[in-house]
Each structure stands twice: as structure tokens, then as C-alpha cells.
Structure 1
Amino acid sequence: MKIIDVKTFVVGNEWKNWVFVKLYTDEGITGLGEVTGGLQTKPHEAAVHEMKPLFIGKDPRNIGEIYDSMKKGLFLGYSIAMSGIEQACWDILGKSLDVPVWQLLGGKMRPRIRAYANGWYRGPRDPGFFAEAALKVVAKGYTALKFDPFGHAYRFLDREEEKLSLAIVRAVRDAVGDNVDLLIEAHDRFSVSTAVKIGHALAEFNPMFFETPVMSTDIAATIEVARRIPIPVASGERSTSLREIAELVESKAVSIAQPEVLLIGGISMMMKAAAIAEAHESYIAPHNAQSPLCTLVNAHIGAAVPNLLIQECFDDTNTEWTKEILANTAVVKDGYIEIPDTPGLGTDLIEERIVKYPYGDQNFLRLFESGWESRRK
């Protein structure tokens, strides 16, 4: 079997342009992957095509060899495109053997995967709105919610902004009660001193974790905050190497790593990141703010790793059409993702539908602009 062609597809979601890659083989089997870049679109799409000499003509079932070829071809570098191509190869391998990808990764460690909802708070930065929105998500069966209450803060919070942020968290906790986990997102916003102050204030609400309170590429700062506050810190979504995940969890101060499958290097590297975390008695809670395809990819990974804590999911809070562009999407029932049993990743693009949603130059989430929570242009 050989890869004979590759195509890319851009789908314009209102807050992020999704980029998909599809590999074609000489035996008629195709494979799907994702190369969404968040605040960039066209560079990642172009990277797929520029790397064609590194994977066209190769057997997609030799996943490690293709990944190594791409890595060395970029002079030991990394591109998000590598992850999407790697995912597509796993999809082809599973289809060629008529088994789901999770079975190739070692089989199920669990019958289903606990999920937390994100993206549910599109609207005004008001405690009452957040409380009402949270109740709607809990009514869908979710038992864990993540949200950023901090507006467009950057490094510091003034007194009034701090009061409002904590009022939002309090309103959500009062609305959903003590049996729903709250996960507080900070989006790399704060200085160490501000993060420590906020971390102590959040302890009252017993959050599952405080996510990326400081710039997450600053591992030393992340560790310092984790050691100085009474609630767990989670980080690692910006990591592009296994070494960075190792540095984070070997501290023992941070025991929840959040590798992103598109940044860490694909399915194979996610499995290795999970193993590194496990070696340090730590969990992974994979970052997943992309399309429903990435949710499926993470479901296969989460089925197979022993140290999965919880999985991020936007699928039920995106606009309704986002589930219609794929033949199958993840099913969340009673707050848990059902593990798919179809071969490969278990889905495909419905190309006649995605043309309705083209690239948009305003489809970006500007987290330091006032009102970003509304996600309206």
C-alpha cells in the first residue's frame, strides 16, 4: 500500500477555521486527520502540501517511519501538519485491519471516558448569565464544566475585575451545586504573583484544577504557582516536545498534564506523553479545542491510556451544523464519551456539506480583546 495523494479542507467555524487533511492510497483506503492551528489557518494547510515529498509514495501503515521522515525532513523540527498526517495514517491502518484505532493502541482501559464541557458560556460576562448557561449544560448530563471568568485580563487583575471574576465562579458553583466539578481556565493570563493570589481565592470553590494560570511555556513559573496555591494546577497544552511534558510532571508539583494531540505530535506522541506522566504518578487531561474529529481522536487515545483523568469536549456547545460535517462524531451520554467501535478513527468528511462553511478571516478567538466570550463577529 502506498500514499498517492493528499488533499486539505478548510471549514470556517465562527471562532476557529478548522483544517482537515485526507490521505489517499493506491488500494482505495483513505485516512483523515486534523491540522487546525487556532490563530493561524493557511500556514498549516500549506505545510501539508509542502511536506508531500516526505510521505507521498510511502506505506501509511509504517507510521513511525513516516513521522521520522517528516521530523528529519524539517531538520528535527515540528509542524502541526505532521500530527494531522500521522492521524490519517492511523486511520488507514485501522481501516486496513478492520479494527478501531484504540485496539491498535492496546485495547480498552475503560468502557467510556468522562468528559467536561467547554465553550458553553458564549454571552455576556455576567454572573447570572454564567449560572443559567451552566445549568443548561448540566441538564445535558455533564458533570464537569470548564470556563474562563477573567475577561481580557493580561498579567494583572484590578480590584473590580477580580471581584467580578470570583462572582462568576461563585454563581456557577451555587447554581450547579457541589457534585459538579468546576475547572477554571486562565489561558496563560497571569503573572506568578497574580496567579498565586487568584489560586488562593479560588480554593473556596473547590475546583478540579486551575488551568494554565501563567504562561504555560514557562515551566518554572507554572511549577512555582503550583507549589504556592492549595488547588491543583494543570498545564502542558502548548508543549511541542515530550521533554517539556517530562519537565512539567517530574517536578511533582504539577500532576495533571494537558498535551494537545495537534501540538505534541499526533497519536503516537500522545501515548508517549501519557506514559511519561504515568512514570511520575501523574494524569493526563488532553487539551481539545478543535473540531469534532479531534474529539474522536482523543476518544481512541483515552480508551487506551491508563492514566486519563478527564477529556475536554466542545462538541455539544458548538453550533449545531458542526456535527453535520462528519459521517460520525463522538457521542456524549450522561457526561461520558462513548468509545467508537468502527474501524480506524471511525468517521469521514461529508465534502458536499463543508462547502457551505468556507474560510473566514474573522474566525479567530482573540482572548485578550474585550467581549471575546461572546464569540460573535
Structure 2
Amino acid sequence: MAITRRAALGGMTALLAGLPLAGPGDMALAETRARAGALGLKITGLKTFLVAPRSIFVKVYTNQGLTGLGVAIQTSKEMATAAAIMECERVLVGRDPTRIESLWNELYQTPRWRGGPLTAAISALDIAFWDILGQALGAPIYTLLGGAGATRLRIYGSTMDMTPAIFEAQKAQGITATRVQAPKGSIPQMIATTRRWREIVGPDHHLAVHMDGTMPTRDALQYLHGVEDLNLLWVEEPIQMDDIEDWAHLRAHTTTALATGERVLTKWGFAPYLNRHLIDFAQPDLAACGGITEARKIAALCEANRIQIAPHGPHETAGALANFHLDASTTAFYAQEVRDYTSQFELDLHEGQTPKIVNGFCELSDRPGLGTVLNEAVAAKRPYQPLTRSSEGRAF
């Protein structure tokens, strides 16, 4: 008999009978997988959805009627990522989606080539597998990860500039930390603009700057030196991630806090930044770095090295909720990047199951699995158009 969401919720008492639970956050992961394995779930197929401007969704279907939702990000490579997801279908059909660790390793380790769209594809599938597991057991993903350390998660605001009006509006929303897009002009002008921002927000507001990884190392270091006395929360992506020794050079020559990670993939990519203490904040993107499974391990490396985690969060609802499940389950969490989830399209796309942000915090949902759905008819109303990043201008 097919398992529906309602049946999964209604059968929780029987399903979890005998589990050694001291509370909803204490479910042992091995016990969880054993119970899920007994359900006899098998993958029957995959389907991808590309939604403008750059969302890549996957639905993973099972023989028991449960459908997992996953999301990937790979700007300007959306079509390649969708194709990479579907390449996995022939490997996954007939497999148990609750054997998440085993499937992750097979999808990552077996192919000869890795990275980019291939890892983003695994990320989307991994999120969908966790969604299925949570639905099958009637529990939110964060419960399966060890339980929520808090029911509300701190967010930080994002803006292209900082003005008194913007600051007052953010304060009214309960926001206590803001990341501002890179200042323009020469290095002295950039430093002067950053000083103006600090004057606007005052000494206590947590102010961060996002640089997009576009600066030469020499210029980045000059800027970092020039703002050292401003007590910035972090400077994000001052340089590219192409050369780890460039980051070692920055770290050795500035006291300004550094952050990066949205384009760093897997625990192996993060390990040198964390083990060598080259950054103060790690910013993995769960829809690109390997999904929830891999992000948990990145978070564990952060904990071991006393580095905080602030996941990349430009996503719509599905990607945002994946972040929230990780955030709630790691002691390394600092704050979460978010966006607006209140547009009518967003509400319709996810049938009202969107994140709730109140007074500067995300409120955790107790819905099982990922905690949302994807309405295919609504998704079809906003078809994807290829995006191009170029030196002449960026489409997104």
C-alpha cells in the first residue's frame, strides 16, 4: 500500500515504537535508517524542473507514493546540471533512497570526473533523499540530524548599499547583522565608503562586506588593511578560490575576518581553509557542495576547528529549508543568508509551505522531511531562460 504524507504522520507512534527517544531531537541515526529500510522504499524515477531565473529542482519518485524534492544551484550551467541529475536515474532506479550515505558515495566516487554540475546534481538528489526519509518517518530533517539546538535561527540582511533609510528599515525587522555588496571605485574610495557604512550603522551592528572574489590579491590586502579598525563581521570572497596559498597570504597579513565557501565543493574542498584556519566563517551552498550529507561533514570540520558556519542562501524555499535543517543541527551555526519568500509566485510554487521570518529570525517548521512541495503547474509558468555571465555584463 502506498504511503502518503498523511499516513506517514498518522503512523508515527507505531513506526517509532521501541526507539530509544529521550525527546524529538534524540533519534539515533542508525535506528532511523533501520526503521526506514523496513519500509521497502525503492526509487522509480526522477524528473527535473528548471524555473527562471536559475532554480533547478528534482523530484525523486518512489514505489510507496512518497516523492522527495531537491534543489541544485550552478549559475549559467543550469541545463548541464539538470542533465547531470538525469544521468543518475539509471543508477538509482530500484535503489533504496533511505540509504543516503551509500548512495552519496556511489554517485560521487564511481564516476571518473567530479565537480561543478556533477556535484550540484548529487546535492539536489541528496536533499531529495533526506526529504523522503523525513516523510517516511514523519519527522523534520533536523530531527533526523540530531535535533534542533534552537527553534529560531538568526538571519542577516543583504543590501547593495547602506543608507540611513535602509538601516532603519532593517532595524525595524529585527535584523542585527547586514552584508553589503562591495563598494565601488579605487581602493581608497572603497575604504572610505566602508567607513561611511560603519558610521551609519554604529559600532554595535554586525557589518559584513561581500567582494565577489573579483579583486587581485594585492588590492584585496590593501583594502583589508584599510578597514581593520572597523570591526567588520567579515569580508566575503575578497579573492578567488583558485589558489589556497593566496588565502594563506591574506590570513597572515590582516586581522580582518574572512569568509568564503559558496563556490567551494565537498569536505575535501573546505578542509584546507578550515584546518589551516584561513577563514573565520565558512559559507557552503548546500545545493552545490554535496547536499545535506556533505554539509553536515563540513559543519563538523568547522566545529573541530572553532570556525563558524553561515551557509550561502540565495535560494527559493526548497534551498532555504535545506539550509535551516542544517543550521538547526550544528553548534557551528552563526547566521543564515535569506531572501524574500512572500511573493505570490513563491507562495503558489510551494503551496504556501514557505519559510517564516519574524523579527530577525527564521522559525523552524515541524513539517516532515524538507517541509515543502513543488507545484509543477506553477513552475511551468516561469520557464527557464539560459543565463550568461560575461566580462561585458552579468545576466544574473
Give the TM-score normalised by structure 1: 0.86
Same amino acid, percent of matched pairs: 28
Q: Is residue 134 of structure 2 the alignment partner of residue 90 of structure 1?
A: no
The residue number in structure 2 matching 1:321 is: 345
Match of 2:152 in 1: 112
2:176 alignment partner in structure 1:
143
1:248-259 correspondence to structure 2 within 5 Å: 248-259=273-284
Q: How many angstroms apart in 2 are the aligned matches of 1:94 and 1:323?
A: 22
Q: Structure 1 unaligned runs (5+)?
A: 122-126, 152-159
* 1:130 positional shift: 4.7
Instruction: State the partner residue of 1:275.
Output: 300
Q: Secondary structure of 1:145's partner? A: strand
Contact 1:286 1:312 in 2 (8 A): yes
Larger-Rg structure: 2
Whole-Å separation in 1 of the counterparts to 2:251 and 2:88:
40
Give the partner amino acid of 2:345: W
Q: Return closer, same or farther for 1:134/1:350 CA change in 2, 3 Å cut-off.
A: farther
**Hey, what does 1:157 align to over in structure 2?**
none
Match of 1:68 in 2: 105
Q: Secondary structure, in 3 states, of the residue corresponding to 1:261?
A: coil
Whether the 8 Å CA contact 2:52–2:384 is kept in 1: the answer is: yes
Give the match's secondary structure for 1:271: helix
Q: Is the 8 A contact 2:187 2:219 kept in 1?
A: no
Cα gap change, 1:73 to 1:244, in 2 (>3 Å): closer
CA RMSD of the aligned region, Å?
2.3
Partner deviation per Cα, 1:240-261 (whole Å, 9 max, x = no partner): 2312211111113423222221
> How much has 1:273 moved relative to structure 2?
0.6
SS of the equivalent of 1:210 reads: strand
- Is the contact between residue 20 and residue 32 of structure 1 (CA under 8 Å) also seen in structure 2? yes
Provide the rounded CA distance (Å) in 2 between the counterparts of 1:304 and 1:210: 26
Following the alignment from structure 1 to structure 2, what is the Cα–Cα distance between the partners of residues 325 and 135? 31
- The CA deviation string for residues 167-199 of structure 1, in whole angstroms up to 9 with x for no partner, is 443443333333321111111112221111101
Tell me which moved more, 270-279 or 320-329: 320-329
Distance of aligned partners of 1:332 and 1:167 in 2 relative to their CA distance in 1, 3 Å threshold: farther
CA distance in 1, matches of 2:244, 2:108: 24
> What is the identity, as a one-letter code, of the residue corresponding to 1:220?
E
| Cα distance in structure 2, aligned partners of 1:200 and 1:70 | 43
Task: Give the conservation status (yes or no) of the 8 Å contact 1:245–1:277.
Answer: no
Which residue does the alignment assign to 1:48? 85
Higher mean Cα deviation, 193-202 or 91-100? 193-202
Whole-angstrom distance in 2 between the partners of 1:180 and 1:321: 33
How far does the alpha carbon of each residue in 1:27-48 deviate from its partner, in whole angstroms, 9 at most, with x for none? 1101000022122210001111
Summarize the Cα distance change of 1:165–1:357 in structure 2 as closer, same or farther, 3 Å threshold: farther
Identify if the C-alpha distance between structure 1 residues 26 and 257 changes in structure 2 by more than 3 Å, giving closer, same or farther.
Answer: same
CA contact (8 A) 1:130 1:171 kept: no
Please give the alpha-carbon distance, in whole angstroms, between the structure 2 residues aligned to 1:307 and 1:61.
Answer: 26
The Cα shift of 1:292 comes to 2.4
SS of equivalent residue, structure 1 residue 252: coil
Give the SS at the match of 2:52. strand
CA distance, structure 2, for counterparts of residue 349 and residue 164 of structure 1: 45
> Cα offset for 1:165?
3.0
Provide Cα deviations, 1:60-87, integer angstroms capped at 9, x if missing partner: 1111121122123423634111110010
Runs of 4+ in 1 over 4 A off after TM superposition: 363-366
Relative distance call for 1:280 and 1:359 in structure 2 (3 A) is same
Secondary structure at 2:199 match in 1: helix
Residue 130 of structure 1 contacts residue 168 of structure 1 at CA under 8 Å; is this kept in 2?
no
| Native 8 Å contact 2:48 2:59 kept in 1 | yes
Contact 1:277/1:283 (8 A) holds in 2? yes
Count the aligned residue pairs: 352
CA shift at 1:365, angstroms? 6.2
Pairing partner for 1:236 from 251, 261, 267 = 261
Aligned partner of 1:27 among 61, 64, 88: 64
Take 1:52 and 1:94, find their aligned partners in 2: how far apart are those partners? Answer: 21
State the partner residue of 1:224. 249
Residues 226 and 253 of structure 1 are in contact (CA less than 8 Å); yes or no, is this contact kept in structure 2?
yes
Which deviates more, 340-349 or 74-83? 74-83
> If the length of structure 2 is used for normalisation, what is the TM-score?
0.82
Q: Which runs of 5+ in 2 are unaligned?
A: 1-40
Structure 1 residue 358, shift from structure 2 partner: 1.1
| Deviating more after overlay: 262-271 vs 177-186 | 177-186
SS of structure 1 residue aligned to 2:296: helix
CA–CA separation in structure 2 for the residues paired with 1:56 and 1:132:
54
Q: Contact (CA 8 Å) 2:72, 2:288: kept in 1 or not?
A: no
Partner of residue 18, structure 2: none
Counterpart-to-counterpart distance in 2, 1:314 and 1:161: 30
